[in-house]
Chain A
């Protein structure tokens, strides 16, 4: 299977995403048995993680965010994202996974995480997406710090 991972500065922009998906296509083209996506991919699921305005603050209270600051321990964060994507993807039987995660400041309303999973059929891609996110949140050394609006 194909795994492409990028940790980018700031929000995940369309330009960053285009670059990552372009790398995915390049990897597909040089795979041992290259096949055009149209011949094998029957399902593509996508998750966007977006910084929301309200977060718990001081126990039960709700605070208003301006942004989240993400810090990553690199290169371990990159390696863990790749390792988890490969483990989860191979077990589920997916064809490709593309992961993009932010480092640095991401304002409210902007995207900090994108996951794209491709498989021949729907079920493997849907299952892999949920499992990958759970494992990422447990094992990938990326931390977020709230930047409160006031």
Chain B
């Protein structure tokens, strides 16, 4: 399955885009489920330019931080939350 991941800040500048697609092993009976940990792992394997931005990064799924085992489906809105720096 393919998951679209929104990216921001330095990660977006490094990749030259505001979203990337990652291919991940599909799980579950519908073959449309993966996990946050699998998406992060696939990001590092398939998008080398994101390397520095992945240090300490988390995923948000549908606008909430996702623990590593949280299921993700292809229709979910997934965002890479690299180290933030508001203020």
A is bound by B: yes
Chain A interface residues (CB < 8 Å from chain B): 49, 70-73, 75-77, 79, 101, 112-113, 133, 136-145
A73 touches B8 (CB 8 A): yes
B87 at the interface (CB under 8 A from A): yes
B8 touches A141 (CB 8 A): yes
Residues from chain B with a CB closer than 8 A to the CB of A133 are 87
B63 at the interface (CB under 8 A from A): yes
Q: Known interface pairs A76-B63, A79-B63. Does A141 touch B87 (Cβ–Cβ under 8 Å)?
A: no
B18, closest chain A residue (CB): A71
Residues from chain B with a CB closer than 8 A to the CB of A136 are 86-87
Task: Name the distance in Å between B68's Cβ and chain A's nearest Cβ.
Answer: 17
The size bracket of the interface on B is: 10 to 19
A143 touches B60 (CB 8 A): no
Residues from chain A with a CB closer than 8 A to the CB of B13 are 145
B62, closest chain A residue (CB): A76
A141 touches B81 (CB 8 A): yes
Chain B interface residues (CB < 8 Å from chain A): 6, 8-10, 13, 60, 63-65, 79, 81-82, 84-87
A76 touches B87 (CB 8 A): no
Contact of A142 (CB < 8 Å), options: B63, B64, B84: B84
Contact of A49 (CB < 8 Å), options: B6, B10, B64, B87: B87
The 9 closest A-B pairs by CB, nearest first: A143-B9, A142-B86, A76-B63, A49-B87, A113-B87, A141-B81, A144-B85, A140-B86, A137-B87
Bound form: Cα–Cα A40–B84 in Å: 36
A78, closest chain B residue (CB): B63
